[in-house]
Structure 1
């Protein structure tokens, strides 16, 4: 599909791909044995720390993986700056380091170069992609196929959530888990999409004319806040900024007022509990708060989009679903076509 190719009804691809996610999760869960084999090889190498390389929505999946690795594996973990390799030619010693490259297409030149360079420098490299025969998969020593199927909308939806689940299954298997906590996700995803529809429609009506939004979350949900801001910016052209709840209170909250919409990701667990104080401050400044997540009913907000509860480390897989629907609805309400955001293509090639 080219930028000028007609797509029929605006948003039809994005809408269909959002609805497809329960089936995508079921397919991915059926491949737990294959992912566990990759995890076994990672565990045998006993990496001393981990690095994650990604761009765009995949960068937010990598942020989620950073929490998984640091909390569940107790390994130090960092996000790679690809330009240190591609522009500055840095050559760090990566012996006994795990590098996980996350890319839906597996075709970004900078991620390919980072992965090739890391492997030469001694890293164990793992590609997590939606394209099994991509250059990135060939460059990495190991690979995980997220099996989301072809994604036609420019804005990533099913490939993003599938990346999250694949990364969880990989990290859980490295620590010796079986992925049991994720077994019910397909049904929970259906319940999330069905149960949140009315509240999302109300949020679309509420924020249709808003000029700027802040998205925020703590812990695992920081990744969802970052992805929410990207989706709102690329589909609805909103001035949306993401902050962790902690960072929001360290200065940016001064810019929050009655004209600001705040999308707060609040799921049950330590991250959601830490958001209560943040939202007390934000509400005190007059902001209009929409809380999304399994703990939405427990925080101060003008509007709540509730999501079924699950293990805290899996909450981002579910809580992003109504966020995607909100981005879709706002884009359509504001007269846009989220399948064809202006100036964007499905694969962005950077170096």
Structure 2
């Protein structure tokens, strides 16, 4: 196959997201059928199994499940099964395995073990022919299409939307808050482009960066740190806004860049004091989100306002563009990050 221009694949797949998200909403009825079947089994706990970007999507789902469904939820440690051969009693537990490829050996083994332990198993994947799809009792397809760039972009946002549609349907929702998500995503990409360009110029020579957020948006902060690290090799750490003030803030100074995800709602509102503190220590703060313009910051990238629980679907779009732009500005090809492959096989 003829090699494309540097960053061509990641660019194209970022730009596909409005159409991918709009098309996924059209499958809401199919996802709702799965949600009703799961709700009829009345699980008492949800356990989410994932790695990498999918683990950040799983954290988002944890917030959705606990807040919107009132059901306890936790993030699993696959190695308890794969390395330590633990077999916990998972009766009355919903185990949701999130995997774009559906073929990572550790996630597959953890799902098989959970099913043997009595769990109700659900696979959320972009690959309907995957082993994970065959193993789980139920499955939800994110339908993002083939993703060629190593860094996950459209598969990540589509996973978030699929998880939201599932949880929303489980609580009896109609999906009304994401009915126009495709148009909102298009708007977010267009309106954030100039802000992203300014941020690329501002941070292209940064040595270290902190990402931070609270609530639903913490998943975006984690995903931002991963994207910046894997594409532009910028040393990036993610912290909850609350945890940042519990110790790491001591290392913040005038050489520190902070990317804060701040959307309208309780999570974003809780970030004002955090950013006031880091700004007071001389940090250079970039805010991204629907509440970005109201926060103490050197630069902001505002986004369309939505209900708080779906904000992460839009927040990640300019973050992906920032990672792409910084990689190119620093002389790297984000389509071919060193040492990485599209499917990571761990155990």
TM-score tier (shorter): over 0.9
Residue 89 of structure 2 is matched in structure 1 by 93
Q: Distance in 2 between matches of 1:7 and 1:159?
A: 22
Residue 185 of structure 1 is matched in structure 2 by 181
Show the 5 A alignment for 1:331-346: 331-346=327-342
TM-superposition CA deviations, 1:181-232 (whole Å, max 9, x none): 1101111100000000000000000000000000000000000000000000
Report the RMSD for the aligned CA atoms in angstroms: 0.7
Show the 5 A alignment for 1:229-268: 229-268=225-264
Q: Is the 8 A contact 2:22 2:180 kept in 1?
A: no
Q: Is the 8 A contact 2:178 2:310 kept in 1?
A: yes
Q: Distance in 2 between matches of 1:31 and 1:14?
A: 25
Q: Distance in 1 between matches of 2:333 and 2:132?
A: 30
| TM-score computed with the length of structure 1 as normaliser | 0.98
Deviation at 1:91, TM superposition (A): 1.1
Residue 227 of structure 1 is matched in structure 2 by 223
Q: Distance in 1 between matches of 2:158 and 2:23?
A: 10
Q: Distance in 2 between matches of 1:331 and 1:107?
A: 28
Q: Distance in 1 between matches of 2:231 and 2:194?
A: 21
Show the 5 A alignment for 1:189-228: 189-228=185-224
| TM-score computed with the length of structure 2 as normaliser | 0.99
Q: Distance in 2 between matches of 1:182 and 1:11?
A: 29
TM-superposition CA deviations, 1:112-151 (whole Å, max 9, x none): 0000010111101000000011000101000000000000
Q: Distance in 2 between matches of 1:342 and 1:292?
A: 28
| SS at 2:85 equivalent | coil
Q: Distance in 1 between matches of 2:220 and 2:330?
A: 23
Q: Distance in 2 between matches of 1:126 and 1:298?
A: 40
Residue 169 of structure 1 is matched in structure 2 by 165
Residue 150 of structure 1 is matched in structure 2 by 146
Q: Does 1:308 align with 2:283?
A: no
Residue 22 of structure 1 is matched in structure 2 by 18
Q: Distance in 1 between matches of 2:318 and 2:230?
A: 16
- Tell me the number of residue pairs that the alignment of Structure 1 and Structure 2 aligns: 347
Q: Is the 8 A contact 2:7 2:333 kept in 1?
A: yes
Question: Any gaps of 5 or more consecutive residues in structure 1?
Answer: none
Question: Any gaps of 5 or more consecutive residues in structure 2?
Answer: none
Show the 5 A alignment for 1:49-128: 49-128=45-124
Q: Is the 8 A contact 2:257 2:283 kept in 1?
A: yes
Q: Distance in 1 between matches of 2:317 and 2:37?
A: 32
Q: Distance in 1 between matches of 2:88 and 2:185?
A: 41
Residue 286 of structure 1 is matched in structure 2 by 282
Deviation at 1:7, TM superposition (A): 3.1
Residue 274 of structure 1 is matched in structure 2 by 270
Q: Distance in 2 between matches of 1:119 and 1:280?
A: 47
Residue 3 of structure 2 is matched in structure 1 by 7
Q: Does 1:134 align with 2:130?
A: yes
Deviation at 1:160, TM superposition (A): 0.2
